[in-house]
Structure 1
Amino acid sequence: MKKQLADTVSAEIGSETIQKQRTPKAFLRTITIVSTFGGLLFGYDTGVVNGALPYMSQPDQLNLNPFTQGLVTSSLLLGAAFGSIFGGRLSDRNGRRKTILSLAILFFIAALGCTFSPNTTVMVICRFLLGLAVGGASVTVPTFLAEMSPAERRGRMVSQNELMIVSGQFLAFTFNAIIGSTLGESGDVWRYMLVIASIPAVVLWFGMLIVPESPRFLASKGKFGDALRVLRQIREENRAKSELKEIEAAVDEEAKIKREKVTLKDLNVPWVRRLVFIGIGVALVNQITGVNSIMYYGTEILKDAGFGTEAALIGNIANGIISVAACLIGIWLLGKINRRPMLIIGLAGTTTALLLIGIFSILLKGTTALPFVVLSLTVMFLAFMQGSVGPVTWLVLSEIFPMRLRGAGMGLCVFCLWIMNFIIGLTFPVLLASIGLSTTFFVFVILGIAAILFVKKFMPETRGVTLEQLEHHFRTYNSQSASQNATMLTK
């Protein structure tokens, strides 16, 4: 007790100097910008392959065929699936800040490895390592932001990471277009595209050196004095002390919950099994829209429609711009519209866009209008995807699981999301080469219809419903009360 009191007094004295140097809001803004460079790297590293593939595939470079194109692209996604699992465990054990610092180093090393890859094998290995960093960032950065933010700003702060992801993809498309247009004659042009990813990794590492550890994590390790010191940097004085008391109470409550830790045996419980089924379904719905076929292979799609390589690279900038704009609108809409109708409208829009791409690819085949029609429809697709489907998916996954199931449930759902992402990334170029653009998108249309039916039938409405109400709904769900419960959660 004496030691804890001494730590607290020391923290209060030390924080006085800090408060003179910066205001809590300014420092919190700095923390948000720095940490979301992890999201920027997530976006850039997943989007840069879009423009690099055509140059990488040339005979005098890596000489990729449709299958190896898919392998190079999807190896990052497979790595991300495992990175999301191990990243979460490392952040729980070592801390959010230390984990993000380690991820920054991995981002940097893997980016350079991809840049200087002499053959396909080395490229696949380095892309897998890059995926570990991407997956780790996809779990750790939102967790860090949620724990640093005040309750009333949590939604906005966490959503800024998603904004940085689409911004990273936009930057990738922009740099791809600039480099492709100016250095397109050079065989190594794809290496210049890839090496840029090392710059945000350096910024992230140096930036995290001035960022403190999450007060929630510090308190979970019994370091309440350190937790108060951090809180006084990012909160007003009275707010910091009151929030520390709330964190202490939460730590005590969590200690009790840990004694009831979720295991695979819990899947024998019907309500748990149903909840996990819905969570995995929502995660898969995000991917079977076919969004990443456009984000990873947009250049190949536009080339197949009739654009030249440089024109396709420039056209992809429109995809990046609409993704950022739609994401901003989507974040605003989340506070205005219920989750289920917003997701259903988004899925209807993406499915319609893909259907029209398939139809016009047949009707306008060989015409000069086709590439512009396809570009317009991909922009329409991304407007619905990034403005509706994307934000709702991640928010629902964070809301749907009660406290005791949240860690295990989220981990499993994100893993399944990345695995589906990997499957699509691997098979899309093979499908494009074997059955053509129109038939490939007709396949995604069928999956999109299935996604709409799933959301309509199974996904509960989480807006305005407390976690306790959700847990009660799932615990008491049975055939006799299904209609009554469904009515409550689908309003």
Structure 2
Amino acid sequence: MNRARTSVQHTPLPPDQPGPHSRRLGVVAFVATFGGLLFGYDTGVINGAVDPMKVDLGLSPVTEGFVVSILIFGAAFGAVLGGRLADRYGRRHNLLVLSAVFLVGTIGSAVAPSWQVLALFRFVLGVAVGGASATVPVYLAEVAPVERRGSFVTRNEIMIVSGQFAAFVINAVILNAWGQHPVVWRYMLVIAALPAIGLFVGMLGVPESPRWLSARGRDEDALGALRQLRSAQRAEAELAEVRELAEEERKARTGGWFDLAVPWIRRLVVIGAVLGVFQQFTGINSIMYYGTQLLQTAGFSSNGAIIANTANGLFSLLGITVGIMLINKINRRTMLLGGFALVTAFHLLVGASAMFMPAVPAKPYIILVFVVAFVFAMQGTLGPLTWLLLSEIFPLKIRSFAMGLCVFVLWMADAGVTFGFPPVVAALGIAPTFFLFAGIGVLGIIFVATMVPETRGKTLEEVEAELRGRR
């Protein structure tokens, strides 16, 4: 039997009894997920800001597309950079730095005198978004007790979706109140400064990841962090597991690009990257970015599509809320398989409704129902589970590095869908586009069934030992 696997499978951890540490753990999770809130707001706010922005800055179609999409490319590179820095300097340290980057990017975007300056600061915001997307789930996974890890990590997804929904609502309020002002889009963007300040102030008072501290040989600091977040008996027992695995990691000399030469690590990175691609190729962000245009194509009027599109934001939030209630009760693989099956079914229903239904008044509403059902199913299963699994499956010493690589691939897939969706719908129509999404969903089912490991109910150390033993 593999030595690492034997060493970490010892006496089960004592239960983590409720106490003041439980409330503190909740505060830590809330503060850290401000990174997710900023992620959601900064990706969603452009939806309402772009029309007045075009008028104020004189954007052409080309410069408009460049300003909108550059955040995604910044996020892809920010994910890799953020993951690497989180491994080197710590998860808490990285989130403090990212909060400052969020603030600089937000203020710079809001006061930009030209589209070139706006694009520069949108790229800076993208770097912060990508860094947060790679760091926050890892931090949450490493501070949460194993019994509650699933719900803790998926709180970040709730905050992302809440940030997007908040952006839609705030945009609508600001447009109704000050829509006559040409600089109204600046008000929309600058709102993000508030959660950026909240993230910075909040992270000053939370502990560093105990697993990262132990991996750096700082066991006393790691124990101090655990005592803030666990009962005393549980903290001692958990540190013993973390210390043992960290020592094995140090002996194995892991921690960077050279680890990709190790077959079992390379396999996990490939699994994480491909899972991220499948998540994006469900087309969820095509709905979140282009929902209004899609519904107009389906038959809604311009004003009707804007109103109907708010249902996507609402059911996205409801979906993630249901998902977080189920994620600790259902195995990861089972929930992923069910999610891909539901998403594929709703894709087929959208396509079939668009292709075969006669042009009756109810047709656009029926398509809306199936689109909303897709958003609900996606955000209740594949959305949070992808981020959760990426935070669980990688070895400790390269966890953020590997997460950064996979999130880079995920963001590039997002960019591909963002650029590709409008011309594909224009060329093929709604029905063939959603049939294409359904075909990708079938491939996703096969991938999960044959490649994705199960992680529910195991400590991060047990997950690593098991995957290392499989090779």
Please indicate the TM-score interval, normalised by the length of the shorter structure.
0.7 to 0.9
Further displaced range: 380-389 or 48-57: 48-57
What corresponds to 1:321 in structure 2? 314
What corresponds to 2:261 in structure 1? 266
From 44, 47, 52, the counterpart of 2:44: 47
What corresponds to 2:166 in structure 1? 171
What corresponds to 2:389 in structure 1? 396
Superposition deviation, residue 418 in structure 1: 1.1
From 78, 86, 107, the counterpart of 1:83: 78
Superposition deviation, residue 63 in structure 1: 3.3
Alpha-carbon contact 2:277-2:413 (below 8 Å) kept: yes
- Distance in 1 separating the partners of 2:184 and 2:357: 32
From 342, 360, 367, the counterpart of 1:349: 342
SS in 2 for 1:210: coil
Letter of the 1:342 partner, please give it. Answer: M
- Distance in 1 separating the partners of 2:212 and 2:422: 43
| TM-score, L = length of structure 1 | 0.80
Alignment of 1:236-247 (within 5 A): 236-247=231-242
Superposition deviation, residue 201 in structure 1: 0.7
Alignment of 1:406-485 (within 5 A): 406=399, 409-433=402-426, 435-463=428-456, 467=463, 468-473=465-470, 475=471
- Distance in 2 separating the partners of 1:463 and 1:439: 37
From 114, 118, 122, the counterpart of 1:127: 122
- Distance in 2 separating the partners of 1:121 and 1:45: 18
Mark the structure with the bigger radius of gyration. Answer: 1
Letter of the 1:25 partner, please give it. Answer: S
Number of equivalenced pairs: 449
Alpha-carbon contact 1:34-1:208 (below 8 Å) kept: yes
Alpha-carbon contact 2:73-2:123 (below 8 Å) kept: yes
Relative to structure 1, the CA distance from residue 298 to residue 365 in structure 2 (aligned partners, 3 Å threshold; closer, same or farther) is farther
- Distance in 2 separating the partners of 1:399 and 1:222: 22
- Distance in 1 separating the partners of 2:273 and 2:323: 22
Letter of the 2:59 partner, please give it. Answer: N
- Distance in 2 separating the partners of 1:450 and 1:262: 29
Relative to structure 1, the CA distance from residue 55 to residue 455 in structure 2 (aligned partners, 3 Å threshold; closer, same or farther) is farther
Letter of the 2:115 partner, please give it. Answer: T
- Distance in 2 separating the partners of 1:404 and 1:248: 12
- Distance in 1 separating the partners of 2:224 and 2:328: 33
Alpha-carbon contact 1:50-1:298 (below 8 Å) kept: no
Q: What value does the CA root-mean-square deviation take over the aligned residues? A: 3.1
What corresponds to 2:59 in structure 1? 63
Letter of the 1:349 partner, please give it. Answer: L
What corresponds to 1:35 in structure 2? 32
Alignment of 1:224-239 (within 5 A): 224-239=219-234
Superposition deviation, residue 149 in structure 1: 2.5
What corresponds to 2:291 in structure 1? 298
| TM-score, L = length of structure 2 | 0.83
Relative to structure 1, the CA distance from residue 311 to residue 180 in structure 2 (aligned partners, 3 Å threshold; closer, same or farther) is farther
Superposition deviation, residue 109 in structure 1: 1.5
Letter of the 1:104 partner, please give it. Answer: S
- Distance in 1 separating the partners of 2:124 and 2:142: 27
Relative to structure 1, the CA distance from residue 426 to residue 256 in structure 2 (aligned partners, 3 Å threshold; closer, same or farther) is same
- Distance in 2 separating the partners of 1:208 and 1:224: 21
SS in 2 for 1:263: helix
What corresponds to 1:288 in structure 2? 281
What corresponds to 2:3 in structure 1? none
- Distance in 1 separating the partners of 2:452 and 2:89: 35
Alpha-carbon contact 1:39-1:138 (below 8 Å) kept: yes
Alpha-carbon contact 1:45-1:197 (below 8 Å) kept: yes
- Distance in 2 separating the partners of 1:370 and 1:180: 30
Superposition deviation, residue 431 in structure 1: 3.5
Relative to structure 1, the CA distance from residue 260 to residue 386 in structure 2 (aligned partners, 3 Å threshold; closer, same or farther) is closer
- Distance in 1 separating the partners of 2:221 and 2:451: 44
Superposition deviation, residue 242 in structure 1: 4.2
Letter of the 1:281 partner, please give it. Answer: V
Relative to structure 1, the CA distance from residue 79 to residue 340 in structure 2 (aligned partners, 3 Å threshold; closer, same or farther) is same
Letter of the 1:30 partner, please give it. Answer: V
Unaligned runs of 5+ in 2: 1-18
Alpha-carbon contact 1:35-1:204 (below 8 Å) kept: yes
Letter of the 1:318 partner, please give it. Answer: A
- Distance in 1 separating the partners of 2:400 and 2:299: 46
Q: Provide Cα deviations, 1:426-448, integer angstroms capped at 9, x if missing partner.
A: 23334445555444434433333
Superposition deviation, residue 289 in structure 1: 0.5
What corresponds to 1:111 in structure 2? 106
Superposition deviation, residue 105 in structure 1: 1.2
